[in-house]
Structure 1
Amino acid sequence: MKMFVTERRNKIMELLHDKQRLTVKELSEQIGVSEATLRTDLNKMEQNGLLTRTHGGAMLNQQNNSDYDTSFSVREKQNRKEKSLIAKEAFHFIEEKQCILLDASSTALELARYLNEKMIRLTVVTSGLQTALELKDNPNITVILIGGVVTKGSSTIEGTLGIELLEKLHIDILFTSANGFSIENGLTDFNLYEVELKKRMVNKAQKIIAVIDHSKIGVTSSAPFARTDQVDVLITNNAIDPEIEQVLVERNIQVVSTS
């Protein structure tokens, strides 16, 4: 069966995450495509900062080795305190009776936990299974779960099966995290299937609030889902580079730091 480019590159990342280092020959045998095609893939993926080319193959960048861990429970525990502070700042932007959209990130889950402690009436639309479960018993919150394929080892709904539902809703605010954010490339992520759903989320929401750990700022992952000029607010846990902040402010993006 012919693989799409996005499927092939996701498979390369999965294999590298498992083995750390592979030759083009090994990748060719495992994925079933020519070595020439894989060399093109690897060169492009290196340009995107996903891996490092080696003689005859590639190895996973140390940074992406940790970033690519798709186990939601692992990601959820990382920087829990920082994510909680980001969630508190994010809450200030929410008003009674709004319809908000939360992606499947662990930071959005932290916001859901915070919402559960507040007496506020909301409709929450989400692509995160854990986020939906967190809010399901709250009598003040109507939870709408976007349908789609459940990601293995994660709590994410991905794919575009839920697009039709999104089109029927008025979304006041989207709260989204990302694997990277840069002025040149905007919000980017490594899961190319999840990115397609996130693009539609961005287009549907009236306001886009990025909730991102400061270590992801200046980083570019494999696929963009929101241009910088589509972001209204950036909430992060540490002060960011003053030059980057100046450019963002000049582009009418509100920058909020929890520190």
Structure 2
Amino acid sequence: MPVLPGAEPYRHEGGEIGVLLCHGFTGSPQSLRPWAEYLAERGLSVSLPLLPGHGTRWQDMQLTGWQDWYAEVDRELRTLQERCSQVFVFGLSMGGALTLRLAAKHGDAVQGVVLVNPANKVHGLTAYALPVARHFVPSTKGLVNDIAKEGADEVGYDRVPLHAANSVRNFFRLVDGELPQVTQPLLLLHSPQDHVVPPADSARILSRVSSTDVREILLEQSYHVATLDHDAERIFEESYAFIGRLAPSVAKKGSTSGG
């Protein structure tokens, strides 16, 4: 299947500091592309992969699960590690859960973590219905485009395949159990008005990780896809300042960032 326009993966060969960006469930690299380009323009090596089953049509996701998505970002992380002296991992929504698992599994090989509206749990009755409903109902209404900014548009699916949603549910449970293994410096930015992932998910993550260098920032003007919303520039600047603090060689470029 051809990839949806704008949903293509993005890579930039830059300097010795690398960043892996993980997009969300039913979304695509398009939701993080401006962030990736911002970092690339500042000389960083950037990888923004397209997760398997994403960026084409929702039916393709029915054949994939969390193991496929995690394997893709794990592979990209290892590739970055081969050519970079320090690697950071950033994630939006389910991409935040992928990020946290990479941090838990790779330890010191991941220098720091940035999360935007990270997801930790499938909430409500849906969670209980999924294991059975997925055998009878192929999909439900989509999650994309929770953006406050007028004119901003997210490239993703307008349907959620239930087999894949059930896999996400299982993945969130797995990652929740691994959160105490996360020890890296962590920057978490989340929107109080998020119609996809409740603030409780961010609170749960912050309460369970073992990181001691932690900063939480509220994105007051944005909804779920904050990387395409009013607070996007703040996310970019804060994350770059975060890298600059932990990787002093970045600061030598002379770029000044808010932080």
**Given the two structures, how large is their TM-score scaled by the length of structure 2?**
0.36
Relative to total residues, which structure has the larger strand share, 1 or 2?
A: 1
Greater RCO structure (CA 8 Å; 6+ sep)? 2
**Given the two structures, how large is their TM-score scaled by the length of structure 1?**
0.36
